Structure 1
Amino acid sequence: MAGATSALFIMDIKGRCLISRDYRGDVSPIQAEKFFNKFVEKEGDIESHGPVCYDSGVTYMFIQHKNIYLLTASRQNCNAASLLLFLHRIVDVFKHYFEELEEESLRDNFVVVYELLDEIMDFGYPQYTEAKILSEFIKTDAYRMEVAQRPPMAVTNAVSWRSEGVFYKKNEVFLDVVEHVNILVNSNGQLIRSEVVGALKMRTYLSGMPECKLGLNDRVLLEAQGRTTKGKAIDLDDIKFHQCVRLARFENDRTISFIPPDGSFDLMTYRLSTQVKPLIWVEAQVERHSRSRVEIMVKARSQFKERSTATNVEIELPVPSDATNPNVRTSMGSANYAPERDAVLWKIKSFPGNKEYMLRSEFRLPSVISEDAPPDRKAPIRVKFEIPYFTISGIQVRYLKIIEKSGYQALPWVRYITMAGEYELRLI
């Protein structure tokens, strides 16, 4: 087979990477996810397109099985038919081990999956794809761990993520509720991607073995506790906890109780796929006064309440690569031409809610082109910002209790902040 596979990815139906195996170190999971998301947005229905695609120097080959996609990526001139057959053989191997291949079976048996991926391919070249041969030296039973085989924590008193004897003169807990907004707007001003990825980030400086209890205004939590959910209760999706959280208790009464690790860790992550109104809206109008002079007029508008203020706002406006002598004027903040990024960077330190600011940029194009030539495909407008004391989801920490047998008093500090993630508005 000519050429070798760089990496193999197993992705869920939303294009998120569940498991990856890097064989040659030149294609990352982030690249694969970006390709997959871009491909779905461009083609609409991925099943209606062929199984081989080329993007940014990488050839991607994929197949779908139930609610997952198996995807290979290669930077070499490889035999696509052989690799597609190889992906189907992988499905057969996984079905031999797990009975059914789907997202849940992968999550339950990821150790076996990685063992298999190490054996069926070596440095990007397929090796063993016969399940009977693989089962001779990869014993499935060795990776099926029964819960009953593990002594409960109450018997061993083992907390693997925290050592005993921790001591601080001043006991403090810092809890940051951080949300990243991912937005993609097409050239018609339509919102085609919208999600919020949040995390409860903790820094604990606590002595001993403290017991912590955390209460949120999540709708599911409140209803399970018999509380009314009028007003600010919210629904959280895709909740994932740190291993310190007692999941059995959470399943019973939705109480988040845990013995925290010492230092920094993510207590909980979540995702909201609901429609999100862009917090900072940017419109750009391009006027060509001649074939060599172009003017761009930009409006930036904050679409949140006046009591909140965005800080460290940076708006990256793409300009042609041959632009020269830009003349930039703004009604707020500062703007500079960044030729290494082919963009004008507009920076606003403080952007209050319900405000609108303007930027006008004029530059020249030394290259002479035909008036009938098609327009170049421009990069999107990218926006960065931070909004302290604000969350899109409306999540709130109702209480954070810290109990330790020595009886010390700990000071909990809670902050909220919303930040721009992949925040892009397309021009064309």
Structure 2
Amino acid sequence: MISAVYVLYIPESESTYHHYQLLLNRRYHENIPSDTSILTNFNKLYHNNTNCPPVLYYHGISYGFIRCDHNIILLGVTPKNINIMSLMIFLGKFYEILVEYLLHDQIKLDRDLIMDNLTLIFELLDECLDFGIVQSTDYKLLHEFIKVDINLPSESTSKSKSKSTHNQADTTDVSDTTDLINSSILRTYSSNINWRPKGIFYGKNEIYIDLIEDLQFEYDLTKGIIKRNEILGTCMVKCYLSGMPVCRIGFNEKYMTSMNGKVKQEEVPKNQLEVDSEEVDAEEMLGDTTEENVATLDASSDITDPTTDPTTTDASSNEEAEAKYKRKIPLGNIQFHQCIELSKLYHENLITFIPPDDQFILMKYSIDLQKQPTKLPLIMITPTFKLINTKLQLMCIVKTNFNRRRHCKNLIIKIPIIKNLFRINNQQLKYKAEIGEVSFKVDSHEIIWKIDTIDGKQTVRMMAEISLQEQITTEQIAHSLQTINRNIPEEQPDNARQELDEFYGVHHNNHNTIEKIQTTSTTNDISITFQIPMLTYSSLKLTYLSVEESQLNYSCFPWVRYITQSQSQQQQQFLQQQQSKQSKHQPQYTTKQCYYRFKLGIKNYVVE
């Protein structure tokens, strides 16, 4: 039970006097001291504690806060022993609601924007909290009956009036005017399916499913081993369906969860998705086609379409086969949306759900492929630096290991040149590449090779030459590499604590951008970014899809897309900004910064 909520503005300053500004607050109970004493104590605790955690305790009162962008702090206060994680999750959800309501185009959520929309924020607090108890944090439901006008700067008002061109919905209970409130929202709050209101109708019923896999890959060129190979997958769904449809999705994995062994085969609707006859393609698996691998694949690919009838065998033989079954795709850390019926997932191995309207994230998963040596990397790079007198020659070979029918797009290879070691005479770069363009970036001191499109099972080469001011010896190169490796700490396999510290602002990690720039500029790794459409590195595919609505009984148009990519955090933010212009409420499908890099060593340098 939350006693009070505060929205503060606390700028960062190096002086001994730290001031704060109270933007707004709402008190739900009188079991805490006055607002002045509460904020004064919190300000002292926040600045006096060097390792400031997200939860503070002082004189029997708990302070839970999150630090947002532009020095905005959301603070929740309670004197009782409540579930502190529920308080932190509510503060995070409430900040997302403010972002959805107030952010338009290039407008930032800062102090001035909050002060201009106090009426709207008070309305949101009254609906989200009732006597300090959390009621609802779903933006789509809140947007249906909170119709307060948003005060925006004059420059953005003309831009925000543009209407979206996607498939628009009509509701039976509401006319086209935005001033009226949907009467079905009140019934939606008390129903079991509180994420989808009734009365939705579309002229054309469509469902779009995107299976996006972000890769985290690290390869040591000196030792020739893979240090990290992980997949962060996201299944995003955008649906424009009428009524209350029931969707069923099936993948080419027999056991989606760890509760394997008892999968019931029941009658399900007809598959509306066209699936190729070849369930497992040897080239798509990206591994060695040995006899053992083919045997395990054939033994594990016995359930892809739930409409097929299982073979009748004895119960004892079924139990032995299920006990010996080994997962074809080692899915782990699966996170489902609240609309999924977990009971049917355990028994039928089908993801059954009533989808929310518009776009949402259906599930997230992660796959660790480091223990699978047969899984080849999608893109392999072999660089060689040759020093001849005062010239630095680079020979880079790129090899793709995926299917020939697939195409890699927007491949960018960044090859670092050690800034403290190689002093370039002039910035002229001589190069010759079979495909793509090569350039030299002065500020980051790296060679960038851009390739628009490259096919699978293809090998391309690039040669570049740069003139240096002086000759370099092998001892100087080895000493420089040791210095760089000593300054950069090795990443721990389990960095959950570091991620939590950065998210909640412990040690002020989320605002120390100077150290991040220094560490990224001194790395000696070749980093690449790319995107491969219609391919999943884990070989996870959608093999079954059905949409059933008992009352309307309409036909649906399904669309499925696969994407395998490795993009930096800046590219992800840029793509999300571009997508948000088309669709305002775009959920973020990944929160980690994915990388695909190769670590250079002394063996990559040759001195003649």
Band of TM-score, shorter chain: 0.5 to 0.7
Measured in 2, the distance between the counterparts of 1:402 and 1:235 equals: 28
Aligned length: 314
TM-score by length of 1: 0.64
Q: For residue 311 of structure 1, report the CA deviation from its aligned partner.
A: 1.9
In 1, the alpha carbon distance for the partners of 2:348 and 2:44 equals: 46
The 1:229–1:246 alpha-carbon spacing in structure 2 relative to 1, beyond 3 Å, is farther
- Identity across matched positions, percent: 26
Can you give the 5+ residue segments of structure 1 that lack an aligned partner in the other structure?
Answer: 1-22, 27-74, 77-117
Offset of 1:131 from its aligned partner? 9.2
Where do 1:23-422 residues align within 5 Å?
122-126=45-49, 129=57, 134=62, 137-140=78-81, 156-188=190-222, 189-221=224-256, 224-226=262-264, 230-231=300-301, 233-275=328-370, 276-290=375-389, 292-321=390-419, 322-323=423-424, 324-366=427-469, 372-373=475-476, 374-375=479-480, 377=484, 379-404=524-549, 405-420=551-566, 421-422=594-595
In the TM superposition, residue 216 of structure 1 has moved relative to its aligned partner by: 1.4
Conserved 8 A contact 1:218-1:236: no
CA distance in 2, matches of 1:346, 1:336: 7
What is the aligned-residue RMSD (CA, Å)? Answer: 3.8
Letter in 1 for 2:339: C
- What amino acid is the match of 2:412? E
The answer to whether the 8 A contact 2:416-2:446 is kept is yes
Q: Distance in 1 between matches of 2:439 and 2:220?
A: 25
What's the offset of the Cα at 1:142?
7.1
Could you tell me how far 1:176 is from its partner in structure 2?
1.0
Measured at CA, do residues 300 and 398 of structure 1 come closer, stay the same or move farther in structure 2, by a change above 3 Å?
Answer: same
Offset, 1:175 = 0.5
Structure 2: gaps spanning 5 or more residues: 1-8, 15-40, 64-76, 87-134, 136-186, 266-297, 303-327, 485-522, 567-593, 602-608
Of Structure 1 and Structure 2, the greater helix share is in: 2
Q: Kindly tell me: are residues 158 and 316 of structure 1, through their superposed partners in 2, closer, same or farther at Cα, counting changes over 3 Å?
A: same
Q: Is the CA contact 1:219–1:234 (under 8 Å) kept in the aligned structure 2?
A: no
Counterpart of 1:219, as a letter, is K
Conserved 8 A contact 2:263-2:346: no
Distance apart, 1:244 and its partner CA: 1.7
Give the whole-Å Cα distance in 2 for the aligned partners of 1:412 and 1:25: 49
Q: What do the CA deviations read for 1:251-288 (whole angstroms, capped 9, x no partner)?
A: 44443111112222110110001225221000111111
Question: RCO greater where, 1 or 2, for CA within 8 Å and sep 6 or more?
Answer: 2
Deviation at 1:230, TM superposition (A): 2.2
| TM-score w.r.t. length of structure 2 | 0.46
Instruction: State the secondary structure of the residue aligned to 1:393.
Output: coil
| Counterpart amino acid of residue 441 in structure 2 | A
Q: Deviations over 1:307-330 (max 9, x none)?
A: 332222111111244432111111
Contact 1:24 1:124 in 2 (8 A): no
Aligned-residue offset at 1:168: 1.6
Residues 177 and 300 of structure 1: is their aligned pair in 2 closer, same or farther, counting only changes over 3 Å? same
The amino acid that maps onto 2:541 is Q
Secondary structure of residue in 2 paired with 1:218 = coil
- 1:156 Cα deviation from its structure 2 partner: 3.6
User: What secondary structure, in the 3-state scheme, does the structure 2 residue paired with 1:243 have?
Assistant: coil
Q: 1:220 & 1:245 partners in 2: Cα distance?
A: 16
Mapped partners of 1:25, 1:319: distance in 2: 38
User: In the alignment, is the contact (CA less than 8 A) between 1:223 and 1:229 conserved in 2?
Assistant: no
- 1:386: Cα distance to partner? 1.6
> How has the CA–CA distance of structure 1 residues 154 and 297 changed in structure 2, closer, same or farther, with 3 Å as cutoff?
same
Judging by fraction of residues, say which structure has more strand.
1
Tell me, in whole angstroms, the C-alpha distance in 2 between the residues paired with 1:167 and 1:310: 39
